[in-house]
Amino acid sequence: MSYGTNGSIIGPDNVPTLIAAPGVWSLGEIAEAERDGVWPAPFGGWFASWDPGVSSDVGDATQSGQITLDTSDNIYISAVCNDSSAGAYTSAIAKVQSDGNALVNNYQFNILESSVQKNTRLMGLVAAGTNLYISGDEITTGYAWRAKLNSSYAVQWFGDSGGDKQNVQSGQPSYANTDMKLYVSPNEDIGIHLYYGYYSSYGSYQAIMQPIDAATGYKLYPDSFAGNCYPVMPQSYPTSVAQYISGFAMNTGRMAYIQSSYHSSYGPNNVQFGEADEYIWTGWAGMASARFATGGSSAGWGAYSSAPKICAYQTTGTPGIYLWNAVMGVTGGTYSGDAYFSFWDPYTGGYSGWSKGTRYTVNASDSPATPTGLTIECPPVNDSTDTYCYFVLKDNATGPSQHYLVKHDIANQTAIWQRKILIYKTAHGITGYDVPYIQSMAIDSTDENVYGIFSSMTINTAPCVESIVFKLPTDGTGAATYVAGDYTITYGTSNMTVTSGDILDFGTGAAGNSYTSFANSGTLTTSTSTPTATWDKA
Amino acid sequence: MASDYYYTTGDKAGQPKPGTLPAIEDPVATTELPDGFPPKPDDWESVPYDYDVDNGQWVKFDEGLG
């Protein structure tokens, strides 16, 4: 279809694309472009309900949903499947059509030892290049595991040179979750495997960050470097208090972590964070770790965040690889209940180089319930130019608990738009205990859509075998009510109060050490099957 | 743009420059809990717990959420 000549006097004819129509247009030309679906872009977003078909009894649940996009923007999702009556766990992994109309495939993914299926949970799904890096744990005896799959889910490597089971300490249980999992650099050179386990010398559970060779899965220390690349274990004071990492990110050159920390002299609860090269070349000794409180720039210790999240900048090179964004719920102090965004530039500011702080305050009138605070369970994501950061906040109501998707302008410390997401079972209405969680989101290579998966859902007081998957345009369009399978999803404007201003108060004295007493053991294998999944796109 | 805090070229690229790291603490390993903490649950070694400082109690870590 050719369009009528533009009404312009100067310059060539203008040609519309899906996202732009420059120049001067007559009403007729606009009508032609709309008729042909050329401009403006038709709404390409969707919500869908996914039941991987693994568990189907009352009480069964699908948990720990993950979503990731490879370099061709193929969409992969995963979840843990819990058969509650059998007390059994396994996992599912699937590929989704970009238009959301159907699944491309759907697999049950099992891990076996001596041909016996183990109680394993797949809680890490990271695409890099065209490969998938997966990780999780086994919960009967307690160990972490990691593997690399190709796009057909064929195993490229599993485990470590020393064995397929990963433990913080030999003979003691270790576990993983959606934060402590395998992370991989976008260029697939290095990975860092986070897992936590009981460490008898401290009498508590401790997390470690272990650099690995992403090409082989082998630990860098001591396999590749006998005197470098030590795993790092952040610590509490005293060490008898458990330590878990809630936020981690890495890019093509560097890594960063952030967590709630206990220290008897600092709060005692505070936020500990740190940054290093992706090899963690000099271990704890070279990691720029410090602490902050969240009560105000000179408020001292007391306010903190129980589970802060962090994301890496997508810009490669220097200083882009040094830059990070963090989002966290605030506990205690003047800003208790707010969610807080902050930008960290250690390249020019060192450990205290945090700025562009912005608070989000829940607005009870946005919700059918009466929330009083916000938290975050899902790491934020930046667009390709690091202009905008996208994140999902969760309010603290339970009947229902509502989420808020935000497009945040980093430099200008404002929300470009914010949208509430409310999920409930259509048959029950908004009447009960409705609490979904979102622990994973992604953005496509063109910055046109953000993606996420709600899982670990308790709706109308009952656990659910379905997850709610979404693709939503970054222009904020799509506000409507959607019905996906048994679920109704309301997506619409929210009105959280947005206030710019830095609230962090910094301190040194971070605690941790390089850790070399980890253990690798055993041989594991994998198997897949193809259960009948249910995918309902709204 | 050079960094005051990191080497960005040469063999030490990515490593912090001397004197720019914040002070850190050497851990003092102990299995003794701080004063005032509730006693450890019986399944302390097999089940991960986190300390809820606001309510002064142990809570199972990551239960049901993963």
Residue B60 has pLDDT above 80, yes or no: yes
Note whether residue A463 is domain-resident: yes
Distance of residue B64 Cα from the nearest chain A Cα, in angstroms: 8
If asked whether residues A417 and A445 sit together in one domain, one would say yes
Note whether residue A523 is domain-resident: no
Residue A40 has pLDDT above 90, yes or no: no
Residue A479 is predicted with a pLDDT of 97
Interchain CB contact of A196 with B (< 8 Å)? yes
Domain end among A495, A510, A531: A495
Cα A232 to its chain centre, rounded Å, is 22
Distance of residue A85 Cα from the nearest chain B Cα, in angstroms: 15
- Residue A413 burial (CB < 10 Å; 0-12/13-18/19+)? buried
Interchain CB contact of A319 with B (< 8 Å)? yes
If asked whether residues A58 and A11 sit together in one domain, one would say no
Instruction: State whether B31 and A204 contact (CB < 8 Å).
Output: yes
Instruction: State whether A269 and B5 contact (CB < 8 Å).
Output: no
If asked whether residues A17 and A51 sit together in one domain, one would say no
Residue A65 has pLDDT above 60, yes or no: yes
- The answer to whether A324 and A464 have CB atoms below 8 angstroms apart is no
Residue A225 has pLDDT above 70, yes or no: yes
- What part of B 9-28 touches A (C-beta under 8 Å)? 14-16, 20-28
If asked whether residues A55 and A15 sit together in one domain, one would say no
If asked whether residues A35 and A52 sit together in one domain, one would say no
Note whether residue A250 is domain-resident: no
Residue A54 has pLDDT above 70, yes or no: yes
The total of structural domains in chain A comes to: 2
Interchain CB contact of A488 with B (< 8 Å)? no
Instruction: State whether B65 and A63 contact (CB < 8 Å).
Output: yes
Instruction: State whether B48 and A177 contact (CB < 8 Å).
Output: no
Note whether residue A194 is domain-resident: no
Mean pLDDT across the stretch A167-186? Answer: 97
If asked whether residues A20 and A90 sit together in one domain, one would say no
Note whether residue A52 is domain-resident: yes
In this prediction, residue B54 has a pLDDT band, given cuts at 50, 70 and 90, of confident
Residue A22 is predicted with a pLDDT of 65
In this prediction, residue A41 has a pLDDT band, given cuts at 50, 70 and 90, of low
DSSP-assigned beta bridge partners for residue A121: A137
Mean pLDDT across the stretch A426-430? Answer: 94
Interchain CB contact of A509 with B (< 8 Å)? yes
Average confidence score pLDDT of chain A:
94
**Which of B31, B51, B65 is opposite residue A262, by nearest beta carbon?**
B51
Q: Exposed e or buried b for every residue in A18-42, given b needs 16+ CB within 10 A?
A: eeebebebeeebeebbeeeebbbee
Q: How far is CA A376 from CA A247, A260, A370, A474, B63, in A?
A: 11, 13, 18, 20, 17
The CA distance from B33 to B58, in Å, is 12
Residue A1 is predicted with a pLDDT of 43
Residue A155 is predicted with a pLDDT of 97
- Name every chain B residue with its beta carbon within 8 A of the beta carbon of A331: 54
Q: In degrees rounded to 5, what are phi and psi of residue A129?
A: 60, -130
In this prediction, residue A431 has a pLDDT band, given cuts at 50, 70 and 90, of confident
Distance of residue A218 Cα from the nearest chain B Cα, in angstroms: 23
Distance of residue A14 Cα from the nearest chain B Cα, in angstroms: 40
If asked whether residues A385 and A408 sit together in one domain, one would say yes
CA-based nearest residue in chain A for residue B9: A318
In this prediction, residue A360 has a pLDDT band, given cuts at 50, 70 and 90, of very high
- For the segment A311-351, what is each residue's pLDDT rounded down to a tens digit? 999 999 999 999 999 999 999 999 999 999 999 999 999 99
Q: In degrees rounded to 5, what are phi and psi of residue A52?
A: -65, -10
Residue B66 is predicted with a pLDDT of 45
- pTM recorded for the entire structure: 0.94
Residue A236 is predicted with a pLDDT of 93
Least confident of A247-256, A368-377, A400-409, B29-38: B29-38
If asked whether residues A383 and A441 sit together in one domain, one would say yes
Note whether residue A185 is domain-resident: no
Mean pLDDT across the stretch A482-492? Answer: 98
What tokens does A332 get?
Answer: 């205690």
Instruction: State whether B22 and A286 contact (CB < 8 Å).
Output: no
**Which of A268, A281, A509 is opposite residue B23, by nearest beta carbon?**
A509
Note whether residue A468 is domain-resident: yes
**Which of B3, B16, B48 is opposite residue A175, by nearest beta carbon?**
B48
- The answer to whether A54 and A90 have CB atoms below 8 angstroms apart is yes
Residue A491 has pLDDT above 80, yes or no: yes
Residue A37 is predicted with a pLDDT of 64
CA-based nearest residue in chain A for residue B6: A347
Select the residue from B15, B17, B24 to test the A interface by mutation, using most A Cβ atoms within 10 A.
B24
Residue A246 is predicted with a pLDDT of 97
In this prediction, residue A57 has a pLDDT band, given cuts at 50, 70 and 90, of confident
If asked whether residues A420 and A480 sit together in one domain, one would say yes
If asked whether residues A387 and A460 sit together in one domain, one would say yes
- Strand A487-493, strand A414-425: pairing: antiparallel
Chains A and B: how many Cβ contacts under 8 Å? Answer: 139
Task: Print the domain residue range for A378.
Answer: 47-99+367-495
Residue B63 is predicted with a pLDDT of 57
- What part of A 447-486 touches B (C-beta under 8 Å)? 456
Distance of residue B36 Cα from the nearest chain A Cα, in angstroms: 12
Domain end among A461, A476, A495: A495
If asked whether residues A477 and A418 sit together in one domain, one would say yes
If asked whether residues A76 and A4 sit together in one domain, one would say no
Note whether residue A145 is domain-resident: no
CA-based nearest residue in chain A for residue B36: A264
Residue A4 is predicted with a pLDDT of 47
In this prediction, residue A11 has a pLDDT band, given cuts at 50, 70 and 90, of low
